[in-house]
């Protein structure tokens, strides 16, 4: 089993002073590490009857799409406004300073779809909570949220309203 933490590059003061950025691109570029990451993110959900995996823009796509393949499920891109070419469901959410929004195609899920939400990192949980609301409003049954890295000191899992949560690595 690959030591995934050893492959993550810590970049201080990015994107602004005082922030420590956890760069996962070395994991993505390491064939065994990337394969291990995908297997470990998919493993807890192999028997959960997942029909779709939703990935949150943008780094979440790099993990969610291969997890969907592993689970023999479809993939749903959840994107920032204006990025999808078809009719969309739209959900605004609050940030520390202002608001943002997420969108997905109106035909991305059908009632009864069992969806796993996947992202690279969860910080405060606002983006993941908005994705959950977007999917639930469209009739999907959200089974869980799975992330590569949880910034535990920000307690983002608390924003998920009790939806089961899985993180491979937690940084406190």
Give the separation between CA 9 and CA 164, rounded to whole angstroms.
28
Contact (Cβ atoms closer than 8 angstroms) between residue 79 and residue 57: yes
**Which of 162, 163, 155, 144 is CA-nearest to residue 45?**
144
Q: How far apart are CA 52 and CA 108, in angstroms?
A: 9
The catalytic residues are: 59, 96
């Amino acid at each position: 089993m690959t030591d995934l933490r050893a492959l993550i590059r810590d970049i201080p003061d990015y994107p602004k002073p005082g922030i420590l950025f956890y760069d996962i691109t070395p994991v993505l570029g390491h064939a065994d590490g990337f394969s291990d990451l995908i297997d470990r993110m998919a493993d807890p959900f192999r028997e959960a009857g997942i029909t779709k995996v939703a990935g949150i823009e943008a780094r979440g796509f790099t993990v969610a799409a291969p997890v969907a393949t592993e689970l023999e499920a479809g993939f749903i891109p959840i994107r920032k406004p204006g990025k999808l070419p078809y009719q969309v469901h739209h959900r605004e959410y609050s940030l520390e300073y202002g608001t943002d929004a997420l969108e997905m195609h109106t035909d991305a899920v059908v009632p009864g779809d069992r969806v796993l939400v996947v992202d690279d990192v969860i910080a405060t949980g606002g983006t993941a909570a908005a994705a959950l609301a977007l999917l639930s409003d469209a009739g999907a049954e959200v089974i869980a949220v799975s992330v590569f890295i949880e910034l535990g000191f920000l307690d983002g899992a608390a924003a998920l309203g009790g939806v089961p949560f899985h993180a491979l690595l937690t940084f406190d």
